[in-house]
Amino acid sequence: MSQTAAPLRLGIAGLGTVGVGVVRIIRRQAAMLTARTGREIVITAVSARTRDKDRGVSLAGYAWEDDPVKLATRDDVDIFVELMGGADGPAKAATEAALKAGKDVVTANKAMLAVNGQALAELAEAEGRVIRYEAAVAGGIPVVKSLLEGLAGNEITRVMGVMNGTCNYILTRMESAGLPYEDVFEEARQLGYLEADPELDVGGIDAGHKLAILASVAYGTQVAFDDMELEGIGEITIDDIRQAADMGYRIKLLGVSRKTGRGLEQRMAPCLVPASSPLGQLEGGTNMVVLEGDAVGQIVLRGAGAGEGPTASAVLSDICDIARGFRLPVFGQPAASLEAATPARSVSAAPYYLRMMLQDKPGALAKVATALGSEGISIHRLRQYDHDNACAPVLIVTHKCLRNDLDRAIEAMQATGVVVSGPVTLRIEQV
């Protein structure tokens, strides 16, 4: 490695938590980064929505651009570091402009890649540029690198993950403090954990974006976020958490993707996992990704999924790779060779947890059991508990069944008129 290589010049768009974190690492660790990459890594220009704001870090010596597209196309920028966010709009416009102007791109933008990843990868590869995005998935956990490099010799058989720290915080805090969802949601808002649009977190969208990106890298398929089965955590009650705990499970917003003989299965939904499993033991805002390969077996990666240091750490990993001259296609193989994924729903059977409120009258439970039985679904456990005179909360755990059969059974039980609310339907995942 030559110590005389030209400096690598960054233009950073977006000076929120992550952008400031990147500036701090580059200022604090300049000598170390040069020693490791053989090049000086310098920031030449920055851009953000507001210029006059104390960010707690000096921006002296960096040129300022109001327009991220102008920043992305400056002659003195080699890498456009996109930390603005948003699937489309300025982030996408500036990324495209950077690629067309011959710049490499490093981004933390999961939404942009989940929605526009294929088109951007094709553009990057046509221009001979790279897009790197370690920070887009699970913050500080080097999961993209693990798939692209460490597991390159494996056929990946399954990717699972708890990849939204806010949801994991809400679910684990509900359990530990015995608080209802609404109270903990408000607490998360006050702690600043929620995205500006909280639905991105609690609706499973943010975690779904991350899973869609990992699926593309893992299976050589085009990113297919629109095909993902997506459910949020808004319907989970403290009662569900307690019932699950009673049976030895914990509820997690879990992503699972698998390439099956019938297509690509991708789910991001709350489900029950064994309390004793690594995923079941995950507390608070931490993330965990479980990767399974035909040669390696299962590996588990755990760490901070958000925050200044962890996310900036991931951005620096990508910048260092580019500085070292390490280049590879955006999703690990040429974009033109990525297969269009066929969505596969309801291909793997699992036991399901159903909690519903029934009318407390003769024959109500029998109607529910008949609806399940008519679809060939057998009941494994059944519990009716704490009921008043009008309604009875009922918990059913099924034997393994297919989701489509279960959905038909639920429609039939609802049509009988005995189901007052629900059922909350959660898959019991074998992890």
Between residue 299 and residue 318, which ones bind ligand HSE under the rule CB under 6 A? 305-306
Q: How far is the CB of 116 from ligand HSE (least distance, A)?
A: 17
Q: How far is the CB of 421 from ligand HSE (least distance, A)?
A: 29
Q: What dihedral do alpha carbons 101, 106, 107, 113 form, nearest 10°?
A: 70
Count of residues that interact with ligand HSE, criterion CB under 6 A: 8
- The rounded distance, in Å, linking the Cα atoms of 99 and 96 is 5
96 within 8 A of 102, measured Cβ to Cβ? no
Q: Is residue 206 near ligand HSE by the rule CB under 6 A?
A: yes
Binding mask 335-374 for ligand HSE (x = CB under 6 A): ----------------------------------------
Q: Report the residue number, 98 or 211, with the smaller CB distance to ligand HSE.
A: 211
Q: How crowded is residue 245: how many other Cβ atoms within 10 Å of its Cβ?
A: 14
156 within 8 A of 291, measured Cβ to Cβ? yes
> Closest Cα partner for 21 from 260, 314, 350?
314
Q: Is residue 127 near ligand HSE by the rule CB under 6 A?
A: no
| Largest interatomic CA distance in the chain | 85
Q: How far is the CB of 9 from ligand HSE (least distance, A)?
A: 27
- Residue ranges in 127-233 assigned as alpha helix (H): 143-145, 165-177, 181-190, 199-202, 205-219
Q: Report the residue number, 103 or 267, with the smaller CB distance to ligand HSE.
A: 267
Residue nearest to ligand HSE (CB): 166
Q: Is residue 134 near ligand HSE by the rule CB under 6 A?
A: no
- Name the segment binding ligand HSE (CB under 6 A); options: 76-84, 160-168, 237-245, 348-356: 160-168
Q: Report the residue number, 78 or 201, with the smaller CB distance to ligand HSE.
A: 201
Q: Report the residue number, 317 or 333, with the smaller CB distance to ligand HSE.
A: 317
Q: Is residue 165 near ligand HSE by the rule CB under 6 A?
A: yes
Name the catalytic one among 92, 103, 210, 259. Answer: 210
Q: Which of 65, 82, 125, 201 binds ligand HSE (CB under 6 A)?
A: 201
Q: Is residue 14 near ligand HSE by the rule CB under 6 A?
A: no
Neighbouring-strand partners of residue 300: 290
Binding mask 62-91 for ligand HSE (x = CB under 6 A): ------------------------------
Q: How far is the CB of 108 from ligand HSE (least distance, A)?
A: 8
309 within 8 A of 303, measured Cβ to Cβ? no
Q: Report the residue number, 184 or 338, with the smaller CB distance to ligand HSE.
A: 184
Q: What SS3 class is residue 155?
A: coil
Q: Which of 73, 95, 166, 216 binds ligand HSE (CB under 6 A)?
A: 166
Residue whose pair of structure tokens reads 């998360």 in the numeric block: 188
- Name the segment binding ligand HSE (CB under 6 A); options: 111-119, 161-169, 249-257, 390-398: 161-169
Q: Report the residue number, 160 or 377, with the smaller CB distance to ligand HSE.
A: 160
289 within 8 A of 145, measured Cβ to Cβ? no
Q: Report the residue number, 40 or 195, with the smaller CB distance to ligand HSE.
A: 195
Angstrom CA distances, 300 to 150, 251, 399, stand at: 13, 19, 28
- At residue 116's C-alpha, the angle toward residues 113 and 117, to 5°, is 50
Q: Is residue 204 near ligand HSE by the rule CB under 6 A?
A: no
- One DSSP character per residue, 303-351 reads EE-SSHHHHHHHHHHHHHHHHTT----TTSS-GGGPBPPPB--S-S-B-
Peptide bond into 393 cis (omega under 30): no
Contacts 24+ apart (CB under 8 A), 48-51: 48/13, 48/14, 48/15, 48/16, 48/19
Q: Is residue 195 near ligand HSE by the rule CB under 6 A?
A: yes
- The rounded distance, in Å, linking the Cα atoms of 364 and 360 is 7
Q: How far is the CB of 279 from ligand HSE (least distance, A)?
A: 15
Please confirm, yes or no, whether 210 is among the known catalytic residues.
yes
- Name the segment binding ligand HSE (CB under 6 A); options: 6-14, 16-24, 72-80, 162-170: 162-170
Active-site residue list: 210
The residues of the shown chain that bind ligand HSE, judged by CB under 6 A, are 164-166, 195, 201, 206, 305-306
